[in-house]
Copies of this chain bind each other. A is one copy, B any other.
Amino acid sequence: MAGTKDGNGNGGAKPVAQRLLATATKLFAEQGYDRTSVQEIVDAAGVTKGALYHYFGSKDDLLHEVYGRVLRLQQERLDHFADADAPVERRLRDAAADVVVTTIENLDDTKIFFRSMHHLGPEKDKQVRAERRRYHERFRALIEEGQRAGVFAAGIPADLVVDYHFGSVHHLGTWYREDGPLSPQQVADHLADLLLRALRP
Contacts and interface: CB of A to CB of B under 8 A. Distances in A.
Contacts of A174: 114, 163, 170
Interface residues of A, number: 35
The winner among A32, A164, A172 for most chain B CB atoms within 10 A is: A164
Given A32-B118, A32-B119, A198-B198, A157 B182 contact: yes
A195 B197 CA distance: 9
In the complex this chain forms, how many copies of it are found?
A: 4
B175 A168 contact: no
Given A167-B167, A171-B171, 6 more contacts: A35-B118, A115-B115, A164-B168, A164-B191, A170-B170, A197-B200
Contacts of A34: 32, 34-35
B190 A156 contact: yes
Interface of A: 31-32, 34-35, 114-115, 118-119, 153, 156-157, 160-161, 163-164, 166-172, 174-175, 182, 187, 190-191, 193-195, 197-200
